[in-house]
A and B are shown apart, each in its own frame.
Chain A
Amino acid sequence: AQTVTQSQPEMSVQEAETVTLSCTYDTSESDYYLFWYKQPPSRQMILVIRQEAYKQQNATENRFSVNFQKAAKSFSLKISDSQLGDAAMYFCAYRSNSGGGADGLTFGKGTHLIIQP
Chain B
Amino acid sequence: NAGVTQTPKFRVLKTGQSMTLLCAQDMNHEYMYWYRQDPGMGLRLIHYSVGEGTTAKGEVPDGYNVSRLKKQNFLLGLESAAPSQTSVYFCASSYRRLAGGKQFFGPGTRLTVL
Instruction: Give the nearest-CB partner of A6 in chain B.
Output: B42
A-B contact pairs, 16 of them (CB 8 A): A4-B42, A45-B90, A45-B105, A47-B103, A50-B100, A50-B102, A91-B42, A93-B42, A100-B96, A101-B97, A102-B31, A103-B101, A106-B45, A107-B43, A110-B40, A110-B41
Q: How many residues of A contact B (CB 8 A)?
A: 24
Q: In the bound complex, what is the Cα–Cα distance between A107 and B59 (angstroms)?
A: 11
Whether B107 sits at the interface, judged by CB under 8 Å, is: yes
A43-B88 in contact given A101-B96, A109-B42 (Cβ < 8 Å):
yes
Q: How many residues of B contact A (CB 8 A)?
A: 28
Q: How many A-B residue pairs have CB under 8 A?
A: 61
Q: In the bound complex, what is the Cα–Cα distance between A56 and B15 (angstroms)?
A: 50
| B31→A101 contact, CB < 8 A | yes
For residue B107, give the distance in angstroms from its CB to the closest CB of chain A.
6
Overall SS of chain A's interface: loop
For residue B29, give the distance in angstroms from its CB to the closest CB of chain A.
11
Q: In the bound complex, what is the Cα–Cα distance between A95 and B48 (angstroms)?
A: 14
| B107→A52 contact, CB < 8 A | no
| A104→B33 contact, CB < 8 A | yes
